[in-house]
Amino acid sequence: MRAVVQRVKKASVKVNGDIRDSISRGILVLVGVEKGDDDSDIEYIASKVTEMRVFDDREGKMNLDVKETGGSILIVSQFTLHGDLRKGRRPSFGSAERPEMARELFDTLIKKIEERGVKAGRGEFQTHMDIELVNDGPVTILLDSRRGF
């Protein structure tokens, strides 16, 4: 499972011009589910996004997690994170999980994040979306449950 995590001042996701969900201060997470992902991958990503200390404390050090700041998480499914361009110019998505299984894992990820006490908004699975955000910092972190970063 791969994720692009961005600390934001605000973020929203729109479907057909209508806001599906939005957050103020928090984290926007773009998530790609890979073939073979399971509960351990979900736990890894849920743990990292809820516990990563990317918010400033009183001394200006990145020392607080999203829960400590009262922030929220907006999670958007993005299979294109598994796009492979090593053999040409058109991306191959062969390592991305089938939509039915990816949806189940994506929903489980959201549930795990909420179980950790963080409000989680979401995009709409398998739909064209417009995402608006104000990146704070900017702070952008890459996560991959199989590569351990």
Q: Which domain holds residue 8?
A: 2-144
The CATH number linked to 126 is 3.50.80.10
Number of folded domains in the chain?
1
Give tens-digit pLDDT for 127-142.
999 999 999 999 999 9
Are the C-beta atoms of 97 and 125 separated by less than 8 Å? Answer: no
Q: State pTM to two decimals.
A: 0.95
Q: CA-CA distance, 149 to 145, in Å (whole number)? A: 7
- Residue 149 domain-assigned? no
Give tens-digit pLDDT for 84-130.
999 999 999 999 999 999 999 999 999 999 999 999 999 999 999 99
Burial of 46 from C-beta contacts in 10 A (0-12 / 13-18 / 19+): buried
pLDDT average, residue stretch 15-35? 97
Active site residues per annotation: 78-80
Q: CA-CA distance, 124 to 43, in Å (whole number)? A: 22
* Residue 58 phi, psi (nearest 5): -65, -25
- Residue 68 domain-assigned? yes
Are the C-beta atoms of 128 and 20 separated by less than 8 Å? Answer: no
